[in-house]
Amino acid sequence: MHHIISIPILAIVIAAYVLMAPGGGMFLDGDAYSLMLPSGMEVTLRGSDFFLLAGLLALALDVLKLRRAGRAGGLLLGITFLAALAAFLLYAPAATTAFLLLTAMALAATLVAVLRR
């Protein structure tokens, strides 16, 4: 049970992106939601923007989980980063700016895990 809790949430977000990336043109690059601001400006979010928001939330939760996850949590974050990096470099549908930023989030979480020891 302890190892299930230490699975990085960021790994789930990255896996979801990789699974949706092959058909990504319509979902990831298309406009998903528009929001009218009080200033009168309209902000349009794309599908990939939602993955970035989910990645930021997952990064924060994973850093908070590091207290309990211990060594296994840091190791799994490192594996998540390496898998994301390999996907970015070798898997054409994942070669996007949004996925690069998710990979950078995985690197940041890994560095936090390593430096907290």
Residues 6+ apart with CB under 8 A from 62: 8, 9, 10, 73, 77, 109
> Within a 10 A sphere around the Cβ of 17, how many other Cβ atoms?
25
Q: For 25-56, what is each residue's pLDDT tens digit?
A: 667 777 778 889 999 999 988 888 999 999 99
Distance, in Å, from the CA atom of 62 to the CA atom of 74, rounded to the nearest integer, reads 10
Q: pTM here? A: 0.86
Q: How far separated are the first and last CA of the chain, in Å rounded?
A: 23
Distance, in Å, from the CA atom of 26 to the CA atom of 30, rounded to the nearest integer, reads 5
Distance, in Å, from the CA atom of 32 to the CA atom of 47, rounded to the nearest integer, reads 6
Q: For 67-100, what is each residue's pLDDT tens digit?
A: 776 777 788 899 999 999 999 999 998 999 999 9
